[in-house]
Amino acid sequence: MLKKLPRVLIVGDGLSAHVLAHRMHAAGIPFFLQGMDTLGAASPAAWGLLNPVHFRSFGLSYGASWYEESLAFYKALEQKLSQKFVDYAPLEHLDARPEALVHWSMAWESELYSFMEKPTKDSLGNVRIVLSQVAMVSVPTLLQESRNYLRKQGLYHQAWFDWPYPDFNHREPIAHAGNQFDAVVWAQGIRSLESGPFKALPIKPSKGEGIQLSTSAQVGDKVIKHKGMFAFQDSPGFWRVGSTYSWHDMRPEPSMEAMEELKARFIELTGINDFALVDHWAGFRPASPDRKAMVGQHPLFDQHYALNGMGSKGLLMAPYLAKALQEEMMGDLGKIPKLCSLDRFTKRLINFRE
Ligand SMILES: Cc1cc2nc3c(=O)[nH]c(=O)nc-3n(C[C@H](O)[C@H](O)[C@H](O)COP(=O)(O)OP(=O)(O)OC[C@H]3O[C@@H](n4cnc5c(N)ncnc54)[C@H](O)[C@@H]3O)c2cc1C
């Protein structure tokens, strides 16, 4: 716990780092953000769905109760940055699993009736559920505007930040770039495996790819289509399709295999066969073995904190967990949910040797 208002260095250049920066800005905590977007980062590749529903398990996902707070955060950030990056649309999910009708009907009756229409079956035998209003955040736009805003305030510097392990055990203010910091928050995504004091965290990179397609086919409705992947017409004739999942492909660049998979899924979801590829991207979700985030103070190096492990739900998780971390750093203990706490990795962090 820090006894006075800490001066905080935030390391990272993705969603987690920028969300934390704006949380700290709003709370009046002095901070400086240093980060560099690198090949393979998750945030620029994010499809952008802010979604409290977990399709695979027929119900609400972990952290669903944070949905309203997260959405309010992004709406307020739009105002602050004078830039729109949140869009809304209904979402149609098709589910071919034999047990889908029973499970989605139960979910609709018990917890999802305010979010979704009653499940039905389509002509091909898929169970069809429609979520009435889902938010999408353009993460690349958010990041670009946030960088511009923070840079103008002298609070952001685009550069890599490194520190030789294990030289983290200081009790003095940390001097960097002419400033003194009391604490460092490492929001590194998968790059924490390579540098910084949190190398021992078991981040599991999960590669995801997406494409943008153009087509002259006329489709009027503004609906997010989902069956394993999402397809959405961002503007007339331009579709965004994503995202793949791979735990094996560690190449940072987009792959041919994923492109073929994405195109096939687009055809299945929309029935459109005539299109051209406009863009193709890839990134690594910073996932964890138990699919929960990794947030909190290092057990040995107490000036160092992690905000990581957002996996595939960074948009839902980051606003809540960044605030919880900030409150914890200010001495308001117990705000970080136990399931997301670094306590579960104490042994690994303490025993880690280069
Ligand atoms: C294809 C794909 C689709 C996705 N779709 C969705 C979605 O629809 N909804 C959703 O909620 N989530 C989605 N996600 C997940 C979401 O993108 C992540 O949860 C979130 O972006 C993680 O953000 P982060 O800042 O923790 O990590 P990252 O985005 O990886 O950012 C870490 C950044 O820190 C920088 N960095 C690291 N170390 C240093 C250092 N030492 N010095 C300087 N800079 C450093 C890196 O270069 C990088 O830019 C998706 C992810 C992918 C890959």
Residue 140: CB within 6 Å of ligand 1?
A: no
Cβ count within 10 A of residue 69: 12
**Extents of the domains making up the chain:** 8-45+140-202+289-351, 49-137, 204-287
Question: Using CA atoms, how far apart are residues 317 and 208, in angstroms rounded to an integer?
Answer: 18
CA-to-CA separations, 291 to 19, 147, 217, in angstroms, rounded: 20, 29, 39
The DSSP symbol for 82 reads T
Per-residue confidence in pLDDT tens, the chain, 354 aa: 545 677 999 999 999 999 999 999 999 999 999 999 999 999 999 999 998 999 999 989 999 999 999 999 999 999 999 999 999 999 999 999 999 999 999 999 988 888 888 999 988 889 999 998 899 999 999 999 999 999 999 999 999 998 766 566 666 778 787 888 899 999 999 999 999 999 999 999 999 999 999 999 988 778 999 999 999 999 999 999 999 999 999 999 999 999 999 999 999 999 999 999 999 999 999 999 999 999 999 999 989 999 999 999 999 999 999 999 999 999 999 999 999 999 999 999 999 887
C-alpha 109 – ligand 1 centre gap (Å): 35
280-318 burial, b for 16+ CB within 10 Å, e for fewer?
Answer: bbbbbbbbbeeebbbbbbbeebebbbbbbbbbbbbbbbb
183 Cα to the center of ligand 1, angstroms: 22
Asked whether the bond before 105 is cis by omega within 30 degrees of 0, the reply is no
Distance from the CA of 309 to the center of ligand 1, in angstroms? 9
Superfamily of domain 8-45+140-202+289-351: FAD/NAD(P)-binding domain (3.50.50.60)
State which of 19, 39, 71, 315 you would mutate to test the pocket of ligand 1, scoring each by most atoms of that ligand within 8 A of its C-beta.
Answer: 315
The residues near 12 (Cβ < 8 Å, ≥ 6 apart) are 33, 35, 186, 187, 188, 189, 307
Contact 60, 184 (CB under 8 A): no
The CATH number of domain 204-287, selected from 3.30.9.10, 3.40.50.300, 3.90.440.10, 1.20.120.10: 3.30.9.10
* Residue 80 dihedral angles phi and psi, to the nearest 5°: -60, -40
Determine the distance separating the centroid of ligand 1 and the alpha carbon of 44, expressed in angstroms. 7
Q: DSSP characters for 245-262? A: -BSS---SS--HHHHHHH
